[in-house]
């Protein structure tokens, strides 16, 4: 008798398969609107990333226009980057003074000790200047940070 009771179960548990949930969901959403919306969202994100990658390629062409006072992003690792300011240019190299971002903060500050490095200009990404608060905190808009993240990922070099 115990064996008969187990016919309806899998490992002693009643079946609650994803297939049943899918059938139930499809009854509630017969035209698949949720799936269509999810597909549109994914396609929209992919198109936005493709546009930003194209912008990154265009920015590559303008890198040589970087001059003293330009803000740049410097790639470090696959997705990490650092923001800095070009303070000197000599030929195809520039001295980048880096901003620091305190852990968990949404702003950047100049460190008390200068953190700078000479880098090849073709290894940095030009970015827009940050907005500066009355307390001297520097911030980039979320859209700009997202653009920088995508462009940094599209670059095939590390400084």
Predicted confidence band of residue 122 (pLDDT cuts 50, 70, 90): confident
Condensed to tens digits (0 to 9), the pLDDT of residues 25-34 reads 556 665 677 7
CA dihedral defined by 126, 129, 130, 133, rounded to 10 degrees? 160
pLDDT of residue 69: 93
Q: Between these two residues, 67 and 13, which has the higher pLDDT value? A: 67
Nearest to 70 by CA among 111, 129, 132: 129
Q: Which tokens is 142 given?
A: 């979320």
| pTM for this entry | 0.57
| Domains and their CATH numbers in the chain | 15-159 (2.30.30.140)
Alpha-carbon gap, residue 56 to 61, rounded angstroms? 9
Answer for the pair 123, 92: CB distance below 8 angstroms, yes or no: no
Mapped onto helix, strand or coil, the DSSP state of residue 103 is coil
Condensed to tens digits (0 to 9), the pLDDT of residues 130-151 reads 999 998 889 988 888 888 888 8
Nearest to 147 by CA among 120, 128, 134: 128
If one counts every other C-beta atom within 10 angstroms of the C-beta of residue 29, the result is 12
Q: Which tokens is 20 given?
A: 């049943």
Residues of the chain with pLDDT > 70: what percent?
67
pLDDT of residue 96: 95
Q: Which tokens is 7 given?
A: 């016919």
pLDDT of residue 33: 77
Answer for the pair 145, 79: CB distance below 8 angstroms, yes or no: no
pLDDT of residue 97: 95
pLDDT at 75 over 70: yes
If one counts every other C-beta atom within 10 angstroms of the C-beta of residue 36, the result is 11
């Amino acid at each position: 008798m115990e064996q008969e009771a187990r016919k309806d179960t899998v490992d002693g548990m009643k079946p609650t398969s994803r297939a049943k949930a899918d059938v139930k969901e499809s009854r509630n959403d017969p035209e698949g609107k949720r799936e269509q919306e999810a597909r549109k969202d994914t396609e929209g994100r992919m198109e936005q990333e493709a546009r930003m990658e194209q912008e990154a390629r265009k920015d590559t062409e303008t890198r040589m226009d970087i001059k003293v006072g330009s803000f740049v992003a410097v790639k470090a690792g696959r997705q990490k980057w650092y923001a800095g300011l070009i303070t000197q240019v000599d030929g195809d190299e520039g001295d980048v003074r880096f901003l620091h971002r305190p852990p968990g903060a949404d702003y950047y500050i100049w460190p008390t000790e200068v953190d700078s490095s000479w880098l090849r200009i073709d290894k940095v990404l030009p970015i827009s200047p940050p907005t500066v608060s009355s307390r001297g905190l520097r911030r980039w808009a979320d859209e700009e940070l997202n653009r920088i993240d995508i462009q940094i990922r599209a670059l095939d070099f590390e400084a």
